[in-house]
């Protein structure tokens, strides 16, 4: 899991509505609507009070992280508690405050956990499915049926794996590329209709791309046409500024993953 920098998230709260407006122009949906599609939630569930707990282990807290997650949840009209205490004391505060879900992250995992219920959502899984749902809806907004359309997925880690499964569920054809051929081949083998290719990713051969890697600025404007759609959950963003100006690039550092995690938990509570 990439460790976010303070500079990655310091403007999330102040720019959240502006980003939502851009996301709607790109996909035709709000982030909430995309997240619900990603997890298969078909009814608008009652919101559950949620806590955001800071964790001090490892390299320690990222300044502004809890506040950014809290702002994203409040954007969903969720009653949100930003824990005054950290770690176990913070979890106890969430429990005593009758929160039903807690968000917390360390150097290895960003997770949402049920308090008093056996629900759980992992950020990697949620982010992959959220961005895959976003590119599918962006295609549909442009009148493109995803059926049998090839989607290049760069990276066969947890985010890429989740994205590949969602694309396959929508009857698209995920084409997996990873620096490790064995990882790419193993992931492709788990899907009915899929393929894999060796690195470097043949970006120019694809119109629809999901960059689930962690390398920044390796996708240039020359790799794109005006019809290209790139969903870029990876941090830092793989597309250069010039590439992002030429074609549609769906990218945010935290927002869609957190929103998808929240609705994943709500769906599990319903089930």
Looking at residue 235, what is its pLDDT?
Answer: 84
Helix (H) or strand (E) holding 111: strand 110-114
Chain-centroid distance of CA 40 in Å reads 15
Looking at residue 44, what is its pLDDT?
Answer: 77
Indicate the fold that domain 125-250 takes in CATH: Rossmann fold (3.40.50)
The stretch 218-242 carries a mean pLDDT of 96
Mean pLDDT of the chain: 94
Identify which of 259, 255, 234 has the alpha carbon closest to the alpha carbon of residue 12.
255
Identify which of 240, 200, 245 has the alpha carbon closest to the alpha carbon of residue 220.
240
| pLDDT level of residue 60 (50, 70, 90 thresholds) | low
Identify which of 171, 247, 260, 168 has the alpha carbon closest to the alpha carbon of residue 203.
247
Residue 6 has pLDDT above 80, yes or no: no
Residue 263 has pLDDT above 70, yes or no: yes
Gyration radius (Cα) of the chain, Å:
18
Residue 3 has pLDDT above 80, yes or no: no
| pLDDT level of residue 62 (50, 70, 90 thresholds) | low
Top CATH class, 6-123+255-270: alpha beta
Residue 129 has pLDDT above 60, yes or no: yes
| pLDDT level of residue 57 (50, 70, 90 thresholds) | confident
In the chain, where the domains are located: 6-123+255-270, 125-250
Identify which of 218, 210, 264, 252 has the alpha carbon closest to the alpha carbon of residue 8.
252
The stretch 113-133 carries a mean pLDDT of 98
Instruction: Tell me the whole-structure pTM to 2 decimals.
Output: 0.95
- Cβ distance 270 to 45 under 8 Å? yes
């Amino acid at each position: 899991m990439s460790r976010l920098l303070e500079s990655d998230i310091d403007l999330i709260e102040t720019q959240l509505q502006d980003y939502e407006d851009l996301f709607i122009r790109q996909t035709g949906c709000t982030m909430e609507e995309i997240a619900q599609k990603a997890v298969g939630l078909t009814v608008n569930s009652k919101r559950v009070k949620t806590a955001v707990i800071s964790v001090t282990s490892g390299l320690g807290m990222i300044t502004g992280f809890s506040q950014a997650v809290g702002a994203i949840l409040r954007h969903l009209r969720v009653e949100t508690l930003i824990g005054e205490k950290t770690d176990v004391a913070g979890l106890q505060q969430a429990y005593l405050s009758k929160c039903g879900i807690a968000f917390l992250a360390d150097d290895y995992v960003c997770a949402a956990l049920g308090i008093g219920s056996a629900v759980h959502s992992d950020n990697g899984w949620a982010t992959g499915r959220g961005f895959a749902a976003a590119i599918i809806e962006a295609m549909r907004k442009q009148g493109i049926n995803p059926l049998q359309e090839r989607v290049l997925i760069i990276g066969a880690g947890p985010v890429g794996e989740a994205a590949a499964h969602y694309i396959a569920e929508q009857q698209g054809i995920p084409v997996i590329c990873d620096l490790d051929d064995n990882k790419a081949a193993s992931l492709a083998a788990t899907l009915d209709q899929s393929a894999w290719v060796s690195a470097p990713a043949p970006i120019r051969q694809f119109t629809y791309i999901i960059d689930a890697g962690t390398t920044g600025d390796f996708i240039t404007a020359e790799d794109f046409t005006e019809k290209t759609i790139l969903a870029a959950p990876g941090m830092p963003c793989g597309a250069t500024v010039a590439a992002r100006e030429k074609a549609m690039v769906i990218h945010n550092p935290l927002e869609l993953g957190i929103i998808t995690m929240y609705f994943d938990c709500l769906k599990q509570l319903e089930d």
